[in-house]
Chains A and B, each alone.
Chain A
C-alpha cells in the first residue's frame, strides 16, 4: 500500500534556509504569533472575497490569510521579511477581512480574540522601514511629507506646486475662520490642497448652523498615512507636533472631516500618548447629522439626483459609522437614494487607502472602476462618498462610467443653499 503523504522529492526552486530571524523579526513574530495562529489553524479564508485587493489581483499572496500564514512561516524558519515585502504592500487597510473573519464574527468577543490584520500589515511595513526595505515611492512620499509637513498630494515630481505649510490654509480664503479656539476643524492634506471644495463646504455648513470652530495654528499632516506605510517614528513626530499645537492654543475638541484622520486620532494618538491624549474627537458626519436633527441646519434646496452611497472603509468597516451618512442623505430634499447595505459594502472599496495608490496606482484604479461598475448597475447619476481620499480614484473611474462623484458634505452644503467655491480637483 502506498503512503500518499510521503514525498521523496527535491524542490527545484532555491529553498535554502533563510537567515535566522533578527531581533526585529523575532519581536514581530512573538507579538503576532497567537493572532496568526488563530487564522492559520482555521484557514477558512472567508476574507478572500471581501478583500478589495485580492478581488483584483486574484493572487493568494495578497490575501489576509497569507499575511497571517507568513508570520507562522517566518516563525518556522521558512521565510524572512524580505521574502514577503511586496506582498504586504497589497493592502488598503480597509478592515473588511477582520469583520468577515469567522473567528471575529462568531467568538471574537467571547475569547477576546478578534482577528487583527490591519495591525499586522502595519507592523510588517514598519519592519520594512526599520530594515531599509521600504518601497521607493513610499520612501519618497514620506520624505516629501517630512519636508513639506504635509503630504505631496499635488504631485511628487516638481517642487513648485502650491503645497506645504505656506499654502495650508489657502482653501479657506474669504471664509473668515478664526485660528484656535476650543474646537478646531482638522483639514487633512488631500482636502487642504486637492479637493478644496470639501473643507469649504464643511466650514460653511458649520458657520451656517452657528457652530463655533477655528482652524489649527500650524497644521501638519496628521501622521496617519506615515503610520499606514510603516513610518512610525515620523508619524509619532507629526502627532506630537499636532497635539502640542492644540494644547498651546487651548483646543479641547477636534473635528475630523476625513475618516483616515478620525481613525488616527481615535486609535493611534491614544496609543502614542496614553492619558495625555484627552481631546474629544468628532467625526463630521456624526456632527452634521446631529445639527440636522436639532434643526440648526436646514436642508431646503432640492437636489434632483439619483444617488447611491459609498461606505468609506474607515467609517463603515473600521469605525462602524454607517447610519449617520444615510440619515443625512435621506434628509436632502429631491434626492432619490438607492442604498446598498453596509454589510454588502464590506466587499467595496475605492482602493485609495493604506498608501496603495502611491505604490500600486493600477490596482487602486481597478478597485475604483469596479466600485463604479456596482454603482452603474443601480442606474444612478451620482456616487456619494464621505472620504476625500476615496474621491480622487472614484472620480477618475466615474468619468469613465458617466457617474459623478460627490462628497456627502458637498451635497449637504448645496442643499443648505451654500455657494461652496473651491475645486474638486487640482
Chain B
C-alpha cells in the first residue's frame, strides 16, 4: 500500500525535475484538481486532494517523477483534461498529481503516411483546427470534443460518436509512448512501428494500455490516424410514437450496410420528456413523439447523396417521421453541447433545481436493450421516491462497435443528482443506485461501461465479477508492471493484486 507522505524534500526534488513553475502545492491548485464532472461527494472534498501537482513538459520529466514516486512509495495520479465521467483522474490516496496539459504540442504532421503525432495534453478540437488547412482530420468525436484531451481519450478508451464510420480511440490511436509505473519509457502499438496499423509481431500491447485509467502508467506521446475531411455530412432524425418502432429502426439502419454511416442514435421516451424541459436545446415536438432514432453519414459527396436516400427510406420504413431539414442538421451539430444541463434538474413537484449530471454508461447486447432500460428506470424511480436527490433524465443508445453499427449498443442513463444537498447518506444511496444499474447490465450479458471506464465507486466493485477468471490475469499484470502500486492506487479494486503486500 502506498502511504508515504510528500514532504518538503520530495517537493524540492520534484522542482529539480520539472522546474519551479511546474510544481504546485497551494491549496487552490489541489482543490481544483480533486474532481471531474462526474458527481462528487462534495461534502468530503478534502479527502480527494492530491498532495502536490506537477506540470511536466517532457516524457523524461514524467519518467523521473514516476521513479521518484517509486523511491518513496508515493501514489501518482495522471490527469489530462479532467473531464472524464468515471473518476479516473480523481486522487483516492493523495500523492503526486501529474497534470499533462502542458504537453500539448503537435510534434509531426505526416501527410504521406496520414498520421499526426501529438502530446497527451492537446484538445481534439484544437488539433482539428490545426489539421483543417491540410484537408485531413482526426475523427475522434466524443460529446466532450471541445474539451477532451488525447491523453484522457487513451486513458479511458473512450467512444467516438463517429465510431461506426472511423473507429474509436482504440482504433484511431496507432501507437503511443507510455511511461510505465516503474518509470521506463516504452512505445506500444500493434507491433513495433510507430506508424504501423496492423502487425502480427509480439503481443498487441497497445490494447493492454488502452483504457488503463492511469493504473498502468502515463501516456506521453501518441501517433494518431488522419482521415480525409468528409466532403459531405448528412444527419437525419426520425420521430416515433412508440419506443419499439424506434428501436427496430435503429437495427434496420445499423444493419443496412451503408458504409458512410457515422453512428446511429436512439432516445427513449424518458429522454424525450427530459429534452422537452426547455425549448432552446431541442425544438419542442408534438406530444405523440415518444422516441427518436437518428443517424449521420460522412463521406464523399456521391456516397453520402446516395446513402442519404437509403437512410430516409429506412428511417421511415417503420413509421418514423423525419424531423425536417430546418432542425436535423442543427440538432446534430449541437450533439456536443447539450449532453447535459444542470438546470434541467427537477424535484418531484417540477421545481427547477441545479443538478449535477451523472451518466452511467454500459455496453449492452441489442437484444437486451428494452429489458435493461425498463429495469434502469425502475431502479431510478425507486431511489427518486426515497431520496429527494435524484432525477431521471432518460436514456439514449448509440452504435458501439467500430465500423460495425450493430450487435451491441452504448447505452446510457442520465441521472440528475442534487449534489449541493448531498450528505453521506445521500452519497451512499447514489453509490448503491449506480451499483444496481451496473449489476443489471451484468445480469443481461453486457459490460458495465462502454466508454467512461469502471473506476467509479459503485461500478468499480463489480469489475472482478465482470472480468471473471481473467481478473486473476489482470491482477497479475498490474502487480508485475506496478510492483509498488504507485499508479492511481485504489481504482477498480486493483488493490486486491497486492493483498500479500507489495
Contacts and interface: CB of A to CB of B under 8 A. Distances in A.
A348 to B, nearest CB: 11
A12 B27 contact: no
Interface in B3-46: 3, 5-7, 24-33, 35-37, 41-42, 45-46
11 contacts: A2-B461, A4-B460, A7-B47, A37-B342, A45-B37, A45-B147, A48-B81, A61-B28, A63-B32, A102-B339, A111-B278
Interface majority SS (helix, strand, loop, mixed), chain B: loop
Given A15-B27, A78-B45, A110-B279, A37 B6 contact: no
B92 interface: yes
Given A2-B495, A43-B35, A78-B31, 20 more contacts: A2-B490, A7-B92, A9-B93, A11-B49, A11-B51, A13-B27, A13-B52, A18-B27, A42-B356, A44-B144, A45-B83, A46-B337, A61-B29, A73-B31, A78-B45, A83-B26, A100-B146, A102-B341, A107-B341, A111-B352
B493 A2 contact: yes
Interface string B130-162: 000100000000001011000000000000000
Interface stretch (A64-72, A125-133, A182-190, A413-421): A64-72
Interface string A47-72: 01100000000111101011001101
A45 B82 contact: yes
Interface stretch (B121-129, B175-183, B185-193): B121-129
A207 interface: no
B146 A70 contact: no
A106 B99 CA distance: 30
A83 B55 contact: no
Interface in B62-83: 81-83
B27 A42 contact: no
A87 interface: yes
B120 to A, nearest CB: 12
B252 interface: no
B502 interface: no
Interface string A302-320: 0000000000000000000
Nearest to A113: B343
Given A5-B431, A84-B28, A42 B340 contact: yes
Contact of B356 (A43, A49, A61, A102): A43
A42 B104 CA distance: 25
A157 interface: no
A110 B493 contact: no
A142 to B, nearest CB: 25
Given A59-B55, A61-B29, A41 B356 contact: yes
A245 interface: no
Contacts of A111: 278, 343, 352
A400 interface: no
Nearest to B419: A41
Contacts of B47: 7, 9
B334 interface: yes
B48 interface: yes
A13 B26 CA distance: 8
Contacts of A37: 342, 354, 420
Contact of A4 (B45, B55, B92): B92
B337 A49 contact: no
A43 B89 CA distance: 14
Given A4-B92, A78-B46, A107-B344, A102 B101 contact: no
B413 interface: no
Given A4-B457, A4-B461, A107 B278 contact: yes
A294 interface: no
Q: Which 4 A-B pairs rank lowest in CB-CB distance, beginning with the nearest?
A: A43-B37, A58-B101, A5-B457, A106-B281
B94 interface: yes
A9 B93 CA distance: 7
B65 to A, nearest CB: 16
A103 B123 contact: no
A62 to B, nearest CB: 10
Nearest to A12: B5
A160 interface: no
Contact of A38 (B33, B42, B94, B354): B354
Contacts of B26: 83
Contacts of A344: 129
B6 A46 contact: no
Contacts of B49: 11, 13, 15
Interface string A1-21: 111110101111101001000
Contact of B48 (A7, A18, A69): A7
Interface residues of A, number: 55
Contacts of A106: 278, 280-281, 334, 337-338, 341
A148 to B, nearest CB: 34
Contacts of B352: 111
Contact of A70 (B28, B125, B280, B457): B28
B203 to A, nearest CB: 29
B496 A5 contact: no
A5 B459 CA distance: 11
B172 interface: no
A46 B145 CA distance: 9
A87 B28 contact: yes
B28 A83 contact: yes
A49 B334 contact: no
B357 interface: yes
A69 B496 contact: no
B28 A42 contact: no
Contacts of A10: 5
A59 B101 contact: yes
Nearest to A47: B147
A372 B51 CA distance: 39
A275 B146 CA distance: 41
Nearest to B337: A102
Contacts of A40: 419
Contacts of B316: none
A109 B344 CA distance: 13
B355 interface: yes
A76 B42 contact: yes
A179 interface: no
Interface in B410-463: 419-420, 431, 455, 457, 460-461
A27 interface: no
B142 to A, nearest CB: 12
Interface in B46-60: 46-49, 51-52, 55
